[in-house]
Amino acid sequence: MRYGHFDDKQREFVITRPDTPLPWLNMLGQDEFYGLCTQTAGGYSFWKDARLRRITRYRYNNNPMDNDGRFLYVRHGKSVWNPGWKPSRTKLDGFECRHGLGYTNIVGRKDGIEVQQRVFIPPNENVEIWKVTVRNRTKQRQKLSLFSYVEFCFYEALNDMTNYQRTYSIGEVEIEGNAIYHKTEYRERRNHYTLFGCTRKIDGFDTSRDAFVGVHHGLHDPKAVLAGKCTNSHAYGWNPVGAHQVNLNLAPGAEETFAYVLAYVDQGDLPKFDAPFVINKTKGREVLKRYSDIAEIDRAFAAVKGRWDELLSNFTTPDAPNEHLRRMVNVWNQVQCMATFNLSRSTSGYETGIGRGMGYRDSNQDILGFVHLLPERARQRILDIASTQLSDGTCFHQYQPLTKKGNADIGGGFNDDPLWLILSTCAYIRETGDASILNEVCGYADKPGSKDTLLHHIETSIAYTLNNRGPHGLPLIGHADWNDCLNLNCFSKEPNESFQVTGDIAGSKAESVMIAGLFLYATRDLAALYGHLGRAEDKQRVEGYYGDMLKTVETQAWDGAWYTRAFDAQSRPVGSKACKEGKVFIESQAWCVLGGAGQDNGRAKKALQAVEKHLYHPKYGCALQWPPYSEYHLELGEVSSYPPGYKENAGVFSHNNTWIHIGWAMFGDGERALDYYLSICPSAKPDHDIYRSEPYVYAQMTASQFSPTPGEAKNSWLTGTAAWSFVVGSQYILGIQPDFNGLRIDPCVPKDWKGFTVQRKYRGVTYTIIVKNPKKKSKGIKTLVVDGKKVDGNVVPLPSDGRSSVTVEATLGA
Ligand code: GLC
Ligand code: GLC
């Protein structure tokens, strides 16, 4: 690998040259304060909501890419350089960036001076800390200046980047000692400010961008750094920035350590001002004082690491035989699940924080890979999401994390949305055993104050699908189903319209087989839940819905060699041999199989084989459909608008691949389950000049074999692939499946795996699960021994005697 490597022991990805094929990002923070940080210290920070509380500015789609961030400039002799290489791009003698769990550590070296910048966000604090060490590695005394730099954002990020007639005249700051206070709009509607402080004595500062950078200069050659001197500017309007100058005089071999602190301070009930225009800085001073103590900084850093140690100890396999699966399941996949849970699809290198907030379907799915980490947070999220459902069953497709209110621009009418709530709720109850969530009151978005429970929402969701079916008896699709771009009601020839929400869905007949499959899955889940709760009648009722829908799928949606994808507004099939393009789609194969269709008649296997034959490529994964659309199909919407091989037009959309992985595991094909898993696994990508995206997290999309750029990934980090791949790796390949009454052990592995161990914390008990495979099988538990006693079946019963650890020996071979 030309750009770096995994350090599995430290749980870090080590980047050894700064010019990676794309910016390689890390996500910092998991409570209320977040930071995006690339290997060159690019990125930005925000509090809770990247649209409404953006703290530092970032210019997306810039060239050079990723050119704003948390920068340190070194002025040493005549040279100006950054330890992270950018923005100056002065050649370094040494560079290393370690992306770890909750922190990024960058070290740059030039002419015997080494600067280390460790960026992290302590648990439950609204602070980002850069611990900085400057070392003189030469045999002479060295004088140099270090300049820090951030550019403040005016909090509301969309306004910040569009409304310059106003924003050029609103900027306000204060300076006190080593601290710069960004207080734009604080006098009026805001009770919060940003603090950018240095814990060491400073030798100058700037707060005006024009003074520090210069109007005709760029971040690569800021005027003040070139001059070797800050100007002590006070921003009044224009663009406030934070820059400190620190002059160092280091003896041979000496080093100095101090920190920069970027804090979001909520003033709470304190008086806002000490005097007109003078902020009451009590809280800001406390923050700065606290972190002036390096020991406190190190304690805060240890807390970040300790928290991840604790989280990851909930699921770990020390010895699963495949190193890529091991490292993803143990570390990076779980890290990504944390990010998708927290940020949904709002904020990444590709999601600007101002476009999409939290997604109804997305966040429900994200819970599947997160619930074992922090079940209480998953619980709250499920209730928050449910509250954005309307009483007729439809849902706001997106909502803002700060307000938790549905986004009216997008509205609802994505007819798969309601059903995902059942999957997240059942996953939560299987993990925790806490069925009380079903009785929690979480009203409907259109009936504020309503006293309906989560279970009411679940039944409303089922009823919505049942009551909104088309001519074939299949669920109506609305604006789209999981595939946002399958817009069978749009018919837009007008470039200024949205594909997804323009079409009128009232009275439309377009149907989705994918939703039918999802309905099968959801009703089977719900029936099992009712069974567990001892509600036999409800169980039977829901099984009735299942049976009817199954019959509909089998009679209406089998195309001969695979499941049809949909029926358009004219009731013509989509994803059928009768179509000229887009004959086979992945989602209907996946969901019909996952929902239990095609079991007795051989169709499930055929559906998976059709995926293999028409969509699968061992190096890139499965394309979404085949053949790609070469023409724009008015009746299909956005799906045919992308160039062939990209995104929903036959790109490898990683998220849906994971469902096929589960399909193969259900069939006991351990070789295919693992091969397919590896085909989209970032850690397993051999050539990063082709793949380009981060090797440690999944990307939403890889260009497929049907494009001219096969194997190139984009949209990393925020994708449903994270949660579902964790489900595949932990529950279907390694086979540790939380169930209502205990852990079910049902691995599906390549025949040549000799065995493996999993440590799993589950409902307060630590399970050590040893899986043995002496007979070279893929699936099927022959014997299950729990703390020395043989148990029938493959579910480990919950200990009734308060034991806190349990040892399980499971032998494959049935
Ligand atoms: C994006 C969306 C997700 C959708 C998928 C397929 O990932 O966030 O909701 O299901 O695209 O269109
Ligand atoms: C979904 C699709 C994407 C589309 C986006 C925004 O995420 O994946 O192609 O552009 O929705 O509408």
- The pLDDT assigned to 720 comes to 98
Judge whether residue 581 has pLDDT over 80: yes
Q: Which amino acid, residue 35? A: G
Q: CA quadruple 47, 720, 306, 95: dihedral positive or negative?
A: negative
- The pLDDT assigned to 355 comes to 85
Q: What is the pLDDT of residues 512-537, one digit of tens each?
A: 999 999 999 999 999 999 999 999 99
> Whats the size of the chain, residue-wise?
814
Task: Note the ligand closest to the C-alpha atom of 481.
Answer: 1
Judge whether residue 814 has pLDDT over 80: no
Nearest to 675 by CA among 715, 627, 728, 744: 728
Give burial (CB, 10 Å; 0-12/13-18/19+) of 761.
Answer: middle
Decide: 385 and 363 in contact? Cβ < 8 Å: yes
Q: CA quadruple 706, 707, 708, 713: dihedral positive or negative?
A: negative
Ligand 1 centroid – CA 482 distance (Å): 6
Q: What is the pLDDT of residues 503-514, one digit of tens each?
A: 888 999 999 999
Q: What is the pLDDT of residues 759-770, one digit of tens each?
A: 999 999 999 999
What is the CA 365 to chain-centroid distance, rounded? 11
Ligand 2 centroid – CA 682 distance (Å): 22
Question: Region 247-252: what's the mean pLDDT?
Answer: 98
- The pLDDT assigned to 332 comes to 98
What is the CA 87 to chain-centroid distance, rounded? 27
Q: How far apart are CA 117 and CA 129, in angstroms?
A: 10
pLDDT band at 153 (very low <50, low <70, confident <90, very high): very high
Judge whether residue 566 has pLDDT over 80: yes
- The pLDDT assigned to 253 comes to 98
Q: What is the pLDDT of residues 44-100, one digit of tens each?
A: 999 999 999 999 999 999 999 999 999 999 999 999 999 999 999 999 999 999 999
- The pLDDT assigned to 429 comes to 98
Decide: 425 and 453 in contact? Cβ < 8 Å: no
φ, ψ at 81 (rounded to 5°): -150, 165
Q: How far apart are CA 224 and CA 403, in angstroms?
A: 41
Decide: 383 and 454 in contact? Cβ < 8 Å: yes
Ligand 1 centroid – CA 775 distance (Å): 42
CB of residue 500 inside a 6 A radius of ligand 2 = yes
Angle (nearest 5°) at CA 197 between 193 and 203: 135
Question: Region 367-395: what's the mean pLDDT?
Answer: 97
pLDDT band at 407 (very low <50, low <70, confident <90, very high): confident
Give burial (CB, 10 Å; 0-12/13-18/19+) of 48.
Answer: middle
pLDDT band at 200 (very low <50, low <70, confident <90, very high): very high
CB of residue 703 inside a 6 A radius of ligand 2 = no
Q: What is the pLDDT of residues 277-328, one digit of tens each?
A: 999 999 999 999 999 999 999 999 999 999 999 999 999 999 999 999 999 9
Task: Note the ligand closest to the C-alpha atom of 359.
Answer: 1
Ligand 2 centroid – CA 485 distance (Å): 7
- The pLDDT assigned to 761 comes to 98
Q: What is the DSSP letter of 19?
A: -
Decide: 482 and 587 in contact? Cβ < 8 Å: yes
Task: Note the ligand closest to the C-alpha atom of 624.
Answer: 1
Question: Average pLDDT, whole number, for the chain?
Answer: 97
Q: Which amino acid, residue 618? A: P
C-alpha distances (whole Å) from 408 to each of 352, 399, 414, 448 are 19, 9, 13, 16
- The pLDDT assigned to 50 comes to 95
Ligand 1 centroid – CA 381 distance (Å): 19
Decide: 25 and 41 in contact? Cβ < 8 Å: no
What is the CA 589 to chain-centroid distance, rounded? 25
Decide: 589 and 596 in contact? Cβ < 8 Å: no
Judge whether residue 38 has pLDDT over 80: yes
CB of residue 648 inside a 6 A radius of ligand 2 = yes
pLDDT band at 247 (very low <50, low <70, confident <90, very high): very high
- Closest-CA residue, ligand 1 atom 11, reads 484
Atom of ligand 2 nearest to the CA of 356: 6
Q: How far apart are CA 399 and CA 412, in angstroms?
A: 11
Q: Is 136 left (phi over 0), alpha (psi -120 to 50) or beta?
A: beta
- The pLDDT assigned to 402 comes to 84
Atom of ligand 2 nearest to the CA of 700: 8
pLDDT band at 806 (very low <50, low <70, confident <90, very high): very high
Q: 348, 497, 638, 642: which to mutate for ligand 2, most atoms within 8 A of CB?
A: 638
pLDDT band at 158 (very low <50, low <70, confident <90, very high): very high
CB of residue 484 inside a 6 A radius of ligand 2 = yes
- The pLDDT assigned to 513 comes to 98
Q: What residues are annotated to the active site? A: 484
Could you identify the residue written with the tokens 């669920």? 475
- The pLDDT assigned to 356 comes to 83
Atom of ligand 1 nearest to the CA of 361: 9
Look at residue 47 and give its three-state secondary structure.
strand
Ligand 1 centroid – CA 101 distance (Å): 26
pTM for the full model? 0.97
- The pLDDT assigned to 408 comes to 84
CB of residue 501 inside a 6 A radius of ligand 2 = no
Percent over 90 (pLDDT), the chain: 96
Ligand 2 centroid – CA 52 distance (Å): 22
Q: How far apart are CA 237 and CA 209, in angstroms?
A: 10
Q: What is the pLDDT of residues 785-799, one digit of tens each?
A: 999 999 999 999 999
Q: How far apart are CA 531 and CA 538, in angstroms?
A: 8
Question: Region 610-632: what's the mean pLDDT?
Answer: 98
CB of residue 351 inside a 6 A radius of ligand 1 = no
**Residue 255, strand partner residues:** 135
Q: 347, 483, 655: which to mutate for ligand 1, most atoms within 8 A of CB?
A: 655
CB of residue 479 inside a 6 A radius of ligand 2 = no
Q: 385, 482, 485: which to mutate for ligand 1, most atoms within 8 A of CB?
A: 482
Please name the helix (run of DSSP H) or strand (run of DSSP E) that holds residue 462, with its range, or none: helix 454-467
CB of residue 587 inside a 6 A radius of ligand 2 = no
pLDDT band at 623 (very low <50, low <70, confident <90, very high): very high
Judge whether residue 135 has pLDDT over 90: yes
C-alpha distances (whole Å) from 617 to each of 591, 621, 704 are 20, 5, 8
Task: Note the ligand closest to the C-alpha atom of 720.
Answer: 1
- The pLDDT assigned to 448 comes to 87
Look at residue 360 and give its three-state secondary structure.
helix
Ligand 1 centroid – CA 10 distance (Å): 33
pLDDT band at 400 (very low <50, low <70, confident <90, very high): confident
Q: How far apart are CA 112 and CA 94, in angstroms?
A: 10
